Amino acid sequence: MKKRLLLWMGMMLLLMFGPTSCNNDDDLSAEEATIKEYKAKLIGSWHLVRLMDGWGNATDYTPGEVTFSFAKDGELIIVNTREDQYPFRSQTASYSLITIDFSIYTHEPKTALSLSMYSSLPYIMDFNGDLLYLSPNAFDCEGYTLQRTTAVSSNE
């Protein structure tokens, strides 16, 4: 009888404390937290306001000519009202945020935007107020300045 009682108590203790863990699975890594923060800033609509060609030449755009709409689910809608459809044609694409191991600018890991139409070229993201600077992680490539138009509420 004593043996059964001890066995029963041991099983109860195991059931009470066995499934418990010291680690909180809800904690995000620093990398995941940074990506989550950048994605929250990115969601919404942006106008292309400047293109830098990688050689020091800039082309300015009128707000509304080329608009990027980033959705929470990774969908990107680009609307280009220009007749030449430059530098991006109107399309629905996808995007993701990634961490690159080595930025050519800082030589450190950075959060970058990966666009489905340019799968091999990540763009380093820098936010400054309502501006977003997208710099390719490659030399002599086009970089973009986007200006926020609207934000999407966190409920959507």
Q: Give the per-residue pLDDT at 120.
A: 72
CA dist 106 to 109, 123, 141, Å? Answer: 8, 14, 17
Neighbouring residues of 147: CB distance < 8 A, sequence distance ≥ 6: 46, 47, 49, 63, 130, 131, 132
The burial of 146, by beta-carbon neighbours within 10 Å (0-12 exposed, 13-18 middle, 19 or more buried), is given as buried
Taking only the tens place, the pLDDT of each residue in 20-52 is 545 444 567 888 888 999 999 999 999 999 999
Q: Name the class of domain 43-151.
A: mainly beta
Q: What is the pTM of this model?
A: 0.74
In 10 A of CB 116, how many CB atoms?
A: 14
Q: Give the per-residue pLDDT at 11.
A: 67
